[in-house]
Amino acid sequence: MDLGIAGKRALITGGSHGIGLATAQALAAEGCHIAICSRTADRLAAAAETLSCHGTEVMTMRCDVLAEHDIEQTLAHITARWGGVDILVNNVGGGGRWGQPSVEETEERVWVEVFTKNALAAIRFTVALLPEMRRRQWGRVVTITSRLGREGGGRPWFNVAKAAQTSLMKTLGMMPDLARDGITFNSVAPGSIMIPDTGWAAERDRNPDGFQARLDAEFPLARLGTPEEVAAVVAFVCSARASLLNGAAVAVDGGESRAF
Ligand X SMILES: NC(=O)c1ccc[n+]([C@@H]2O[C@H](COP(=O)([O-])OP(=O)(O)OC[C@H]3O[C@@H](n4cnc5c(N)ncnc54)[C@H](OP(=O)(O)O)[C@@H]3O)[C@@H](O)[C@H]2O)c1
- Positions in the binding site for ligand X (CB under 6 A): 14, 16-20, 38-40, 43, 63-66, 91-94, 117, 144, 146, 190, 192-193, 195, 198, 200
* Least Å from the CB of residue 107 to ligand X: 18
- Residue 20 or residue 254: which is nearer to ligand X going by CB? 20
* Least Å from the CB of residue 164 to ligand X: 12
* Least Å from the CB of residue 41 to ligand X: 8
* Least Å from the CB of residue 200 to ligand X: 6
Q: How far is CA 7 from the centre of its chain?
A: 21
Overall residue count recorded for the chain in this entry: 260
What order do you get walking across the sheet with 9-13 strand by strand?
Answer: 58-62, 33-38, 9-13, 87-90, 139-144, 183-190, 249-252
Q: How far is CA 103 from the centre of its chain?
A: 26
Q: For residues 208 and 39, what is the distance between their CA atoms, to the nearest angstrom?
A: 31
* Least Å from the CB of residue 171 to ligand X: 19
- Residue 134 or residue 253: which is nearer to ligand X going by CB? 253
- Residue 15 or residue 84: which is nearer to ligand X going by CB? 15
What phi and psi, each to the nearest 5 degrees, are found at residue 12? Answer: -120, 110
- Residue 14 or residue 254: which is nearer to ligand X going by CB? 14
Q: For residues 79 and 96, what is the distance between their CA atoms, to the nearest angstrom?
A: 32
- Residue 117 or residue 124: which is nearer to ligand X going by CB? 117
- Residue 63 or residue 237: which is nearer to ligand X going by CB? 63
* Least Å from the CB of residue 72 to ligand X: 14
Nearest Cα to Cα of residue 185 among 144, 142, 147 = 142
Three-state SS string over 101-169 comes to CCCCCCCHHHHHHHHHHHHHHHHHHHHHHHHHHHHHCCEEEEEECCHHHCCCCCCHHHHHHHHHHHHHH
Position closest to ligand X via CB: 18
